[in-house]
Amino acid sequence: MKGFVSIIDIRGQTAKKWAYQLQWLILSMSLVELTPNKAVYNIPRCKVLDFPDMEKACVVDCQGAFPMWATEQFKVGLKFEPQGNSCTVILTR
């Protein structure tokens, strides 16, 4: 998350705080693209999907609630693109 901290500081809150909020999900991720307005991360193995019957959480929470929360709290776009048990996370200004 270090690269993301350097590009986005919204309403006095840094991406470090955002990362802390979601650390249970994104402990193992890598930055694959970084521009002034976008950060793209790869999560090689989603921890949510390690639990039985959690595909619904992926759709309802990760693809639904978390993006709304990120927009409300940090005024950023957040999109999860799952591919099996891995996921691409896209943050935009």
Which residues neighbour 18 within 8 Å (Cβ) at sequence distance 6 or greater? 1, 4, 70, 73, 74, 76
User: Residue 85's domain spans which residues?
Assistant: 2-92
Residue-averaged pLDDT of the chain: 77
Per the model's pLDDT, the better-predicted residue between 5 and 27 turns out to be 27
Instruction: Return the SS3 of 52.
Output: coil
Highest mean pLDDT among 39-43, 46-50, 70-74, 86-90: 86-90
Has residue 17 got a pLDDT over 80? no
State mean pLDDT over 77-90. 91
Give the pLDDT score at 66.
87
What backbone torsions phi and psi does residue 78 show, to the nearest 5 degrees?
A: -140, 125
